[in-house]
Structure 1
């Protein structure tokens, strides 16, 4: 299914469209903008070639291009044939260009596999939440490597990607407790006998005993079946020979991959936990293992957030899918950052959405709201027909923006609410609440801006890696501005900006009108919270320009640290 203005694009066209939109947005090329015959056009030079394309600049400086108008040195382009040459022209390191070419090939190949093997769906509007997690196949709306999954082949894509919806069971291993660290809500055996049905728990216990093991010496860990095969290609077998790890085989409930691929949803019992497992696979330029330091901190962070949300009536429209348990391989006498296997053998348990909904409520992944169905109408079209554009958008903003903003303003807690990390809960299409998820790496705070009512947990005590780290590496930030950037980046610039773009494309309004609705809600919040005026002023969210993360610049320069650039702020008073 397509994003707006992508319905007729071939995979290579969409890849290059998003590539150009990103490098222009991140100011990686110098743009000459002008108007020709009523059309906005952009020209720039790469590798001494003149690139020329039509398009416009949306709010927050997001470029929206008509890639069919692309010319290079005045020549129209058949992008399916010329895209590799385009990549070679990029202002990037040579080894990075080679990596990008492979990512783009894989993205294109998997998109075409989906077209050839997955039946077209006229509409996903009646799909369940789990069905939507598998059917939302568009991938990242900004990053051009939106379906690279480097490390997967076509069979892996079919079996373990979300799009085909194929289910599979987990692989199980027992790890010597001297080589394992966990944060569980109960004692090991009681926890697992509760998480698994009795038959599966007893079967795993029997298999362990047959190999002269017991749960006093060993701890249980699920492994993604694809990951299990990858680990066998490395030095992993020696751990089996030494009986540090005992192979228990594949069994148990059936799971399907979510949009994120590494988070798995239980389809045998949908009320059971979502399981997040590391994969030695690269998608949108990031390796999809689990950051070792975060695994056993996840329950502490979730408990902290739950305490805040549950005790503030103003957050009654916000809920979280708590990450309530974690476990990780850590060799005896080492820390999580000292052994590469730690990031590759771990698990995080997350609450199921099913347990958060009342009988008439339905949850949809938030990024569904920016999509267009095969009938040419937005996913949200029936809801807008029913309730009216402005009333529905006003309610959406009230539900999706204000609780996240309140959490930041009053408590000093920044979350990462991008499209995949949010769930919209609605009743017959009317937005009622928002649920956020995925906190173990993406909650931030600035100590001087934190509420004294709910101080952050002592994460350094639980994970020594954090104690010697500088600010801005893990959870603790050096400034309020970085908190604002996290929230405005993920919620506004890379999330709601896609919704505002869809509204402009399909409903005749303008993006500026959408952001005026957002600004009105934020001003109403300020007016009704005079006691928080100083804290709101510190966030300075109406400044004329703001810093935003540069996702591609970091890749082009092969940098580990984040890169940033400055964009015009759609919420600034200067634009009213």
Structure 2
């Protein structure tokens, strides 16, 4: 599709041009494949092996990840009237590598098209979705299908083209954002991972990350009696806003307030998402607007691009400026995407604390681990909803914002940036971007992988052993710094809401004490087993094996080697290595889709992340072979 074609369609406004029978069929095959794979992985579905001479059910070797040849399987719907047949290999960590082209559906003995929405209703009892949750989950599945159809329609660069961009070193900001908007899958584990309930078609085209459309943020003034602004040490409100807006914009906003007879000194200026202003604030916060506790000021001058997290924006007009993260009352992947004003208060202090910890740790400095700090935050307290709503209610999280550092100033000459999600990206031709990066780098696959583990895995392991500190290190939360296509270090983001101190190895200042959470000792190691091994490496190892780049056994051997070398350099932590044994025979199997199926509007209580986990027995640990 040419730029002119795209512009003409966008000019049509709310046209759902991407929704055609062919694209819908392709989207359904894609999502049914993922549902079969991930629900089988989480042991929700129990496929029966039908290959000649085999007995029913997964073989013991399958569960151990030793199966190398595909087998035929089938699953029956709740009432046994619908049968799905498919071919799959079962790889390490019980990863079901399902051949999408092999999937067939038979309904009442007749061939039927693949339909992801019907799939969910056919297995509703097996999936355990409550009656009141099912329609909402179906809507999220429908939205996920629609976004997949859109991505087919819009087209994306090939993996080779994206890899070429990050290796040529021409324009770090442009290439970084090209990768960001080209990601097509969303979270690798979740079946319904592009819900975004609340978006209409015009909103989707304007604000979805994959649309890549320029966004200008709305600005409001919020009365200081209702709002709290906090910032990193050495940064005050006036200096921060002048750097973000400039003197002319600040003067214009002051004049807007003055024209209403209001004193600018009594207000904070705050960015809001255009969707949030239009759909929520003008209605839900009408009383605050009427009483001039909130005053609309206009549209900011800078142009931004939405990131994969939907509510975070990269400044494309001035890439060295901060990201802006805004509250959005859109339901996506198990949470309403709001921001808590209570959390905003401590956000800069938590980031400052973690920055100092990283800078003072030699092992982390040797591997270049860095973070982009959330340097300023503002939260607005609505007295009506705070009096009426439960502590974790989305009604308490409708109006907050934070500013996060740009990673660009951290780059050395010739370095590029890529979201770590890009390592799991597969283009329309089925080519993984990780394979293209390895090819571009000129390194042997094993050497490339070892450097990646050194940049990403080893720092996370060190934080667990040294501090019992865990990140939420999924692909969208990590930015890789690449040199000639090779990862040289990792940059962590989304800090204040998603790091947790799990034990007593760190003394925390009172200002950051909320990040300390009681986690049972046996679950602390899941910060690596679940968040890294099962949610990232399971997919990365499978992609490399399926693409003929590197076997699964070699993948895990190299991971084991990286951890063993780290451990040999830190004998003082031997008791922690035993306490959190990464080479154990197996580990507790914590399941993400089970969380979403149980409650797709709040998967977890963030103040008690352990209490709501959904376990499904234990998974064989691929590192155990190298113990």
Normalised to the residue count of structure 2, the TM-score between the two structures is 0.82
Which runs of 5 or more residues in structure 2 are unaligned?
Answer: 1-22, 54-68, 166-174, 605-611
Q: Does 1:456 align with 2:508?
A: yes
Structure 1 residues 119 and 488, CA, compared in 2 at 3 Å: closer, same or farther?
Answer: closer
Name whichever of 269-278 and 513-522 sits farther off: 513-522
Aligned-partner SS, 2:289: helix
Residue 484 (structure 1) aligns with: 525
Aligned-partner SS, 2:86: strand
Aligned-partner SS, 2:431: coil
Q: Does 1:321 align with 2:372?
A: yes
Structure 1 residues 511 and 235, CA, compared in 2 at 3 Å: closer, same or farther?
Answer: same
Aligned-partner SS, 1:280: coil
Instruction: Give a deviation string over 1:195-253, Cα, whole Å, max 9, x none.
Output: 22222222222212222223331111110001101114633212111111111121221
Per-residue deviation, 1:75 = 5.2
1:87, 1:28 → 2: CA distance?
Answer: 14
Residue 3 (structure 1) aligns with: none
Instruction: Determine which of 368, 386, 402 is the counterpart of 2:422.
Output: 368
Q: Is the 8 A contact 2:557 2:626 kept in 1?
A: no
Residue 352 (structure 1) aligns with: 406
Structure 1 residues 346 and 428, CA, compared in 2 at 3 Å: closer, same or farther?
Answer: same
Per-residue deviation, 1:142 = 2.0
Residues 476-515 of structure 1: pairs in structure 2 closer than 5 A: 476-515=517-556
Q: Is the 8 A contact 1:87 1:100 kept in 2?
A: no
Instruction: Determine which of 434, 440, 449 is the counterpart of 1:393.
Output: 449
Q: Does 1:167 align with 2:214?
A: yes
Per-residue deviation, 1:376 = 4.7
Structure 1 residues 244 and 548, CA, compared in 2 at 3 Å: closer, same or farther?
Answer: farther
Residue 271 (structure 2) aligns with: 222
Residue 13 (structure 1) aligns with: 29
Residue 60 (structure 2) aligns with: none
Instruction: Determine which of 555, 570, 576 is the counterpart of 2:621.
Output: 570
Instruction: Give a deviation string over 1:81-126, Cα, whole Å, max 9, x none.
Output: 4742543432222233222221121111222223224566573224
1:459, 1:250 → 2: CA distance?
Answer: 34
Residue 438 (structure 1) aligns with: 494
Q: Does 1:552 align with 2:586?
A: no
2:624, 2:394 → 1: CA distance?
Answer: 49
1:40, 1:76 → 2: CA distance?
Answer: 23
Structure 1 residues 153 and 27, CA, compared in 2 at 3 Å: closer, same or farther?
Answer: same
Residues 169-568 of structure 1: pairs in structure 2 closer than 5 A: 169-185=216-232, 186-232=235-281, 234-316=283-365, 317-331=368-382, 337=391, 341-374=395-428, 376-385=430-439, 386-448=442-504, 450-451=505-506, 455-459=507-511, 475-558=516-599, 560=604, 561-568=612-619
Which runs of 5 or more residues in structure 1 are unaligned?
Answer: 1-6, 467-473
Name whichever of 138-147 and 430-439 sits farther off: 138-147
Structure 1 residues 369 and 342, CA, compared in 2 at 3 Å: closer, same or farther?
Answer: same
Residue 470 (structure 1) aligns with: none
Aligned-partner SS, 1:212: coil
Name whichever of 52-61 and 314-323 sits farther off: 52-61
Instruction: Determine which of 119, 132, 136 is the counterpart of 2:179.
Output: 132
Per-residue deviation, 1:562 = 3.0
Structure 1 residues 39 and 543, CA, compared in 2 at 3 Å: closer, same or farther?
Answer: same
Structure 1 residues 290 and 566, CA, compared in 2 at 3 Å: closer, same or farther?
Answer: farther
Per-residue deviation, 1:306 = 0.7
Residue 84 (structure 1) aligns with: 118
Structure 1 residues 66 and 293, CA, compared in 2 at 3 Å: closer, same or farther?
Answer: farther
2:575, 2:496 → 1: CA distance?
Answer: 29
Instruction: Give a deviation string over 1:308-356, Cα, whole Å, max 9, x none.
Output: 1111222122011111111111146968938855411001111101111
Instruction: Give a deviation string over 1:336-394, Cα, whole Å, max 9, x none.
Output: 93885541100111110111111211111111112233455332334423111111111
Q: Is the 8 A contact 1:444 1:477 kept in 2?
A: no
Q: Does 1:60 align with 2:60?
A: no
Residue 43 (structure 2) aligns with: 27
Q: Is the 8 A contact 2:77 2:122 kept in 1?
A: no
Residue 469 (structure 1) aligns with: none
Q: Is the 8 A contact 2:467 2:501 kept in 1?
A: no
Aligned-partner SS, 2:71: strand
Superposed CA RMSD in Å reads: 2.7
Q: Is the 8 A contact 2:544 2:551 kept in 1?
A: yes
1:339, 1:63 → 2: CA distance?
Answer: 36
2:119, 2:530 → 1: CA distance?
Answer: 31
Normalised to the residue count of structure 1, the TM-score between the two structures is 0.89
Residue 4 (structure 1) aligns with: none
Instruction: Give a deviation string over 1:382-431, Cα, whole Å, max 9, x none.
Output: 44231111111111111211111112211221111111111111211222
Q: Is the 8 A contact 2:322 2:406 kept in 1?
A: yes
2:95, 2:155 → 1: CA distance?
Answer: 32
Name whichever of 312-321 and 120-129 sits farther off: 120-129
Per-residue deviation, 1:77 = 5.4
Per-residue deviation, 1:511 = 1.6
Structure 1 residues 482 and 234, CA, compared in 2 at 3 Å: closer, same or farther?
Answer: farther
Aligned-partner SS, 2:265: coil
Structure 1 residues 156 and 479, CA, compared in 2 at 3 Å: closer, same or farther?
Answer: same
Structure 1 residues 502 and 119, CA, compared in 2 at 3 Å: closer, same or farther?
Answer: closer
Q: Is the 8 A contact 2:589 2:619 kept in 1?
A: no
1:119, 1:184 → 2: CA distance?
Answer: 38
Aligned-partner SS, 1:507: coil
